[in-house]
């Protein structure tokens, strides 16, 4: 495995470290996400809720926007962590945002606090037929 290859256990550790910081007074669901960039940097984020509800941002997007802020251009793995028994896949908005910065083959791991990684899937499985930056470059 290369330095920038997927390291799901590193992502699990990073997500576990920040999950307590989730700001989720309305849903009560503490969600954390962690991603790895093609440079091997691990960046984590949590869901941040808002009294307007609509202003809420998911953990995945918090992590992605933090990574972009640090100069990340491409991610090559992402993990979502909750304490729910069943895996929590990224919501539709997050899938679209992940697609902006990742290939369809990008692994996505769904984990919980008790059992660790429950499922490994890919962005392409979660968001087939995606609309992305490619389309905007393909004007005929
Ligand atoms: N949430 C995430 O952080 N990631 C997801 O993929 C699904 C939902 C958050 C948003 C909200 O704070 C709470 O979970 C309930 O929807």
Give the residue from 90, 76, 86, 71 showing the smallest Cα distance to 32: 90
Nearest residue to 35 (alpha-carbon basis) of 97, 80, 74, 77: 77
- Tell me, in angstroms, the distance from the centre of ligand 1 to residue 139's CA: 35
Tell me which of 110 and 3 has the higher pLDDT.
110
Q: Determine whether the shortest distance from the Cβ of 91 to ligand 1 is under 6 A.
A: yes
Q: What is the pLDDT of residue 133?
A: 85
Q: How far apart are CA 27 and CA 53, in angstroms?
A: 10
Strands (E), the chain: 32-37, 42-46, 75-82, 107-112, 116-122
- Which contiguous run of DSSP H or E holds residue 126? helix 123-126
Q: What is the pLDDT of residue 139?
A: 76
23 lines ligand 1 (CB under 6 A): no
Q: Which atom of ligand 1 is nearest to the CA of 46?
A: 3
Assign 3-state DSSP to the chain and report helix, strand, coil percentages, each to 5. Answer: 30, 25, 45
91: pLDDT strictly greater than 90: yes
**Alpha carbons 49 and 53: distance in angstroms, whole number:** 7
Percentage of the chain modeled with pLDDT above 70: 96
pLDDT the model gives residue 2: 47
| Active-site annotation, residues | 60
Q: Whose CA is nearest to atom 2 of ligand 1?
A: 58
**What pLDDT digit, counting tens, does each position of 28-74 carry?**
999 999 999 999 999 999 999 999 999 999 999 999 999 999 999 99
The preferred substitution site among 25, 35, 91, 123 for testing ligand 1, maximizing ligand atoms within 8 Å of CB, is 91
């Amino acid at each position: 495995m290369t330095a920038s290859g997927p390291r799901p256990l590193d992502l699990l550790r990073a997500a576990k470290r920040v999950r307590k910081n989730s700001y989720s007074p309305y849903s009560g669901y503490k969600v954390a996400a962690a991603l790895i960039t093609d440079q091997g940097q691990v960046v984590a984020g949590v869901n941040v809720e808002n009294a307007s509800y609509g202003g809420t941002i998911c953990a995945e997007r918090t992590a992605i926007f933090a990574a972009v802020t640090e100069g990340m251009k491409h991610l090559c793995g992402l993990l979502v962590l909750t304490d729910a028994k069943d895996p929590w896949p990224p919501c539709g908005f997050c899938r679209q945002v992940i697609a902006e910065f990742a290939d369809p083959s990008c692994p996505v791991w769904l984990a919980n606090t008790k059992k660790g990684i429950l499922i490994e899937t890919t962005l392409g499985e979660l968001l087939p037929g995606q609309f992305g930056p490619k389309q905007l470059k393909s004007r005929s």
